[in-house]
Amino acid sequence: MKLKVDNIAFRYAEEPLFQGLSFNVAAGEFVSILGPSGCGKSTILNLLAGILAPEGGSMAVDGVPIRGMSSHFAYMPQNDLLFPWKTIMQNVCLHGRLRGNEKAARERALKLFPLFGLASYENAWPSDLSGGMRQRAAFLRTALCDADILLLDEPFGALDVISRGDMQDWLVSMKQHLGRTCLLVTHDIDEAIFLSDRILVLGGRPASIRSEYRVTEANRTRDWLYAQGELRHRLHDSIRGLETKKC
Ligand SMILES: Nc1ncnc2c1ncn2[C@@H]1O[C@H](COP(=O)(O)OP(=O)(O)O)[C@@H](O)[C@H]1O
Ligand SMILES: [Mg+2]
């Protein structure tokens, strides 16, 4: 198992947010955690990224326990912002620069600009780009981190519905190329169906994984997505606490 989250307990104040939160992610798997706003999705990513510390339980990558910040994760937080005073290239190479290998990061980034739909925008400013392009730049910055697990917090949440659809199409086409384990959190049922190998529904207080759905379709198209009425319905019921079935 690539990532193992076992029996995590966490609270911000009196009331526990998690008490016995457990889930696994296999190597190369794309897993979404789906749940309504406020159920604890971002908190899970902050715990994994080492920004928050659990009260109890354990987390392990490749069987090795992790504590605090870990180089296994590249984290794209909710509302990830590009620095407006830096060019797109400078923004995406930020991690490389912090590690003192900016030149190597620039060379790698340059090759990836076309794939991220950013060709010839290397020296543009964030304000020159559309919302979708800015998100792809933030995504490229995350992808350039040498980490084996990507943590994505509602990466397209701030986009209008058309741009969000375009970005989801793009990410589906990119999954193979990324070749990495991805944990995405979202409140968007269609986004979870479209992108995931497996969907974990998070809910309740204390919150836990209520149900789990595998999505095996290899050819993800919009037409396929629109035909997933039954799965959408079951996910919706599960989020509302009407169903706790695993499949
Ligand atoms: N820094 C904090 N201090 C206290 N409560 C917080 C803090 N951050 C989040 N919360 C609360 O914890 C719960 C889960 O938050 P969060 O993980 O951001 O949910 P989600 O990402 O699913 O919307 C919410 O009720 C939120 O109000
Ligand atoms: Mg959140």
Are residues 44 and 119 located together in one domain of the fold?
A: no
Give the distance (Å) from ligand 2 centre to CA of residue 53: 17
CATH (domain of 11): 3.40.50.300
Ligand nearest to the CA of 79: 2
Domain closes at, from 130, 146, 162: 146
Domains: count for the chain: 2
Residue written as token pair 């190998």: 197
Q: Which of 102, 121, 146 is the last residue of a domain?
A: 146
What is the chain's pLDDT, residue by residue, as a tens digit (247 residues)? 999 999 999 999 999 999 999 999 999 999 999 999 999 999 999 999 999 999 999 999 999 999 888 889 999 888 768 999 999 999 999 877 777 778 888 998 999 899 888 999 999 999 999 888 998 899 899 888 888 999 999 988 878 888 888 888 888 888 877 888 999 999 999 999 999 999 999 999 999 999 999 999 999 999 999 999 999 999 999 998 865 544 4
Same domain for 97 and 26? no
State the distance from the centre of ligand 2 to the C-alpha of 174, rounded, in angstroms.
24
DSSP codes, the chain? --EEEEEEEEESSSSEEEEEEEEEE-TT-EEEEE--TTSSHHHHHHHHHTSS--SEEEEEETTEE--SS-TTEEEE-TT----TTS-HHHHHTHHHHHTT-HHHHHHHHHHHTTTTT-TT-TT--GGGS-HHHHHHHHHHHHHTS--SEEEEESTTTTS-HHHHHHHHHHHHHHHHHH-SEEEEEES-HHHHHHH-SEEEEEETTTBEEEEEEE---SS--HHHHHT-HHHHHHHHHHHTTS---B-
Q: Is residue 60 domain-shared with residue 92, that is, in the same domain?
A: no
Q: Which residues surround ligand 2, an ion (CB under 5 A)?
A: 42
Same domain (yes/no): 133, 162: no
Are 140 and 176 within one domain? no
Same domain, 57 and 172: yes
**pLDDT value for 243:** 58
Range of the domain at 94: 81-146
pLDDT at 31: 98
Q: Which of 98, 121, 146 is the last residue in one of the domains?
A: 146
Tokens of 58: 């354990």
Expressed in angstroms and rounded, the spacing between residue 46 Cα and the centre of ligand 2 is 10
pLDDT attached to residue 247: 46
Which residues does ligand 1 sit against, CB inside 6 Å? 12, 17, 35, 37-43
**93 shares a domain with 53:** no
Ligand closest to Cα of 16 equals 1
Q: Within this chain, do residues 5 and 119 fall inside the same structural domain, yes or no? A: no
